[in-house]
Amino acid sequence: MCAIIGVLGEKLPSEGQFKKARDIMTHRGPDDAGIYYSLEEGVALGHRRLSIIDLSRDGHQPFISADGRFVLTYNGEIYNYLELKEELRGKYNFKTKTDIEVLLAAYVVWGEKCLERFNGMFAFALWDKKERKLFSARDRLGVKPFFYFSRKGVFYFSSEIKGLLALGAPRIPNEDIIFDYLSRGFYDHTEETFFKGIRSLRGGTALVWQRGAVRTKTFWDLAKAKPRHDGLDDKGIRGTFKEILADAIKIRFRSDVPVGINLSSGLDSNSLVYYSRKILNKDIATFSMRYPSEKYDEGGLIGGYLSEAQKKKWHTVTIKPRSVLNEAVSMNEIQDQPFGGMPTIVYAHLNKLAHKHKTTVLLEGQGMDELLAGYEYYRAEYEKDASGVPLFSHISAQKPLSQDLSVLIDTEVLNQKFLKRHTREVRLAFPFKSHLVNAQYRDIVYTKLPRVLRFNDHVSMAYGRELRLPYLDYRFVEFCFFLPVRYKINLTSQKVLMREVMGECLPDVVRARQKKAFGGVQGEWLRKYHKRAVYGLLRSASFKKREYWNHLALMRKADAFFAGEGENSFFLWQCINLELWFRKFID
C-alpha cells in the first residue's frame, strides 16, 4: 500500500508545493518517493511507497512504460498479478517482477476492460501522454481510497484528504453531509465528504479526466453481479465456499514482507488463522487487543484455544481506558473526517503493536457479517420476509439502529432551524425482493462497510501497515451474497454456512460462541473516565457557537446520560467528533 497524489490542468502547483503535499502522506509510504512533473503536459503525479512485493528499485513509482507513453501511480495490490502476467506473456515484454507493471500491461493490452480482470484492492491513476487522458479507478468494494476535487478546470486527486488540503482545496464544511450525520447517523454513504466540493470515488468506479472534463463509469455493481452458486447442489455450495475462501486467503499471502493476522475470539478471524496454518504449514504472528474489564476482554478465550506454538507468536496490547478520549485528537488528524468512535481509536493500538513486531501486512476478518447476515438486527429483516411485509424499490433513510436495536439518533438535541433548513432525503436503493438481502446490500454499499473501510485504511496506513481482507475478495462476495437465505440465517443461528463448514475444522468453543460485544464500552468509558472532559467540550465557547445543536436540550440529555439513564452515547460522540473536526480543519 502506498499514497498517490496528482494534479492535472493548465495551472499546476509548484514542484516544491506538490512534493510537500505528497510527503504529508509519508506514513502511507515510508520506503520511497517519486514524482512525475511536466508543465508542458499539464500533469503532476506523485507517489509514496510502502514496499510489499519486489522490494527492489523496480517498484519505484510513478512507473513509466518502456515506450514512455504511460505513467502510473498506484496504491494497493493486484492479488492475481501472477496469473495475469502469465496471460499477458507474448503480448507485453515484462521488465520487472512487480504487480505495478502487470497493472500497466493489462491496461496496454485490454484497455479499460482490464478492471474486470483484476482481483485486488487498488486505487490508481494512469496518464496517457498521447491521448492527454488520465484513467483512474477504485477497486470493487472500495478498500483503497481515492479523493478528488476540481477547480477552474484543474483536477486534483489524493489517497487522503490532507493531501488535497495541502494543494489548496477549500476548507468549507459540507452542511448536507453534516445534516446526514447528525440527523441520521449517515456518513461515507455517497461520493460527498465532510468537505464541500471534495468527493470520494465510489468502489467499483472508474474515472477519466481529459481536457478539463471528468466522467465516471461503474465497472462493478453488486446488484448486477451474476450469482456464483447457480446450478450447485448443497454439496457443491459447501465445496465451492471452501474453495473460493481458501484461494482468497492464499493469494493474500503473496508478499515479500512478514504477514500476520488481527485476531479476536470470533469465528471469522479464527478461520483465517486455521487457513493460514493449512496454507503455509507454519504458525504466523497474531495480534489481539485486551481490556482491563473481564466484560470485554477476550484474551482468556483466545489463549484457551491457541496451541502452545501459536501462543509464542501471539502478541497482545492492553487498552488503557483513561487515555482513549485524549487520543481522539490524533485520530481526528489521521482520519481527516469524523469517524466511528472509541473502537476506531483503540484499533490504532493493534497497528502500533504490529509495527513494533515488524509485521507489515495484516489479514483481518472484515465483511463476513455483512455477507452471511451475522449482525443481530438482520433477524428482524429475516422475520419481515417470513411474514410477507411489503417491499419497496428504495427507502428513505430512517433513524438508524444499533446492533441491539436501540435508536441511535435523537433529533431533539439538534437545532430546529438547522433541521428545517435541510430537506433532502437520503434514498437508498433496495434492488432485491427480500428485506434481508436489501439490508445486506445497504450495509455493503452505503453504510457499514464504506465507512469501516475508510476508518481502517487510514488507521493501518498511519502506522505503515497494509491491511488485507480475504472475505472481501469479490468472488467470495458474489458467492455468499446471493446464497439462499437458509445458508445465512435460520431460527437459531446466523452465518449458518460459515459455522457449519468451519465446524469441521475448529473446536466447538470457537465455532458456537458469540464474540464479546465491544460497542457498549464507549458509553461505559465516557461515564467512568471522561465525564469532565465531555462537559468541558460541551461548555466550550467554540462548541456553543455551533448552530447545529439545541444546547439546552443537549445538556439535559447529557446530564441524564451521566446520571445513568440509557446506554446510547452516540449523541455525545457526535458532539465530540464534529467539534474536534471543526477545530482542526475548519476554524
The verdict on whether residue 99 carries a ligand-binding annotation is: yes
> What pLDDT score does 402 carry?
47
Q: Identify whether 114 is a catalytic site residue.
A: no
| C-alpha cell read off for 91 | 503480448
Ramachandran quadrant class, 393 (left: phi over 0; alpha: psi -120 to 50; beta: rest): alpha
Find where cell 490532507 sits.
162
Tell me the pLDDT of the chain (587 aa) as tens digits: 799 999 999 999 999 999 999 999 999 999 999 999 999 999 999 999 999 999 999 999 999 999 999 999 999 999 999 999 999 999 999 999 999 999 999 999 999 999 999 999 999 999 999 999 999 999 999 999 999 999 999 999 999 999 999 999 999 999 999 999 999 899 999 999 999 999 999 999 999 999 999 999 999 999 999 999 999 999 999 999 999 999 999 999 999 999 999 999 899 999 999 999 999 999 999 999 999 988 889 998 899 889 999 999 999 999 999 999 999 999 999 999 999 999 999 999 999 999 999 999 999 999 999 999 999 999 999 999 999 988 865 555 555 554 444 456 788 999 999 999 997 778 888 999 999 999 999 999 999 999 999 999 999 999 999 999 999 999 999 999 999 999 999 999 999 999 999 988 886 655 556 665 666 789 999 999 999 999 999 999 999 999 999 999 999 999 999 999 988 899 999 999 999 999 999 99
Ramachandran quadrant class, 42 (left: phi over 0; alpha: psi -120 to 50; beta: rest): left
CA distance 459 to 453: 10
Q: Give the relative orientation of helices 175-184 and 570-581 as an angle to the nearest 10 degrees.
A: 160
Nearest CA to 1 out of 372, 396, 466, 426 is that of 466
DSSP letter string, 316-343: EEE--GGGTTTTHHHHHHHHSS----HH
User: 50-61: string of b/e by CB count within 10 Å (b at 16+)?
Assistant: bbbbeeeeebbb
CA distance 529 to 12: 49
| C-alpha cell read off for 64 | 513509466
- Evaluate whether 137 touches 122 at the Cβ level (below 8 Å): yes
DSSP-assigned beta bridge partners for residue 214: 209
What CATH code is assigned to 2-220?
Answer: 3.60.20.10
CA distance 126 to 63: 9
User: 433-457: string of b/e by CB count within 10 Å (b at 16+)?
Assistant: ebbbbbbbbbbbbbbbbbbbbbbbb
Q: Delimit the domains of the chain by residue range.
A: 2-220, 224-371+448-512
CA distance 585 to 173: 9
Tell me the pTM: 0.96
- Evaluate whether 134 touches 6 at the Cβ level (below 8 Å): yes
DSSP letter string, 347-381: HHHHHHHHHHTT--EEE--TTHHHHTT-STTHHHH
- Within 8 A by CB and 6+ apart from 377, the residues are 401, 403, 405, 439
| C-alpha cell read off for 227 | 450469482
Work out whether the CA dihedral 129, 135, 139, 142 comes out positive or negative. Answer: positive
For residue 152, give the 3-state DSSP assignment. coil
How many helices (H) does the chain have, and how many strands (E)? 24, 19
| C-alpha cell read off for 478 | 458474489
Q: Which of 2, 114, 480, 575 is catalytic?
A: 2
List Cα–Cα distances, 130 to 67, 115, 172, 262, in angstroms: 11, 21, 36, 45
Q: Residue 177 corresponds to which amino acid?
A: I
CA distance 433 to 426: 21
DSSP-assigned beta bridge partners for residue 46: 5, 35
Nearest CA to 463 out of 360, 380, 547 is that of 360
Q: Tell me yes or no: is domain 224-371+448-512 CATH 3.40.50.620.
A: yes
> What pLDDT score does 377 carry?
92
DSSP letter string, 251-312: HTT--SS-EEEE--SSHHHHHHHHHHHHHHSS---EEEEE-SSTTT--HHHHHHHS-HHHHT
CA within 13 Å, CB half, 207: 25
- Evaluate whether 147 touches 199 at the Cβ level (below 8 Å): yes
Q: C-alpha angle with apex 74: 71 to 78, nearest 5 degrees?
A: 120
CA distance 86 to 89: 5
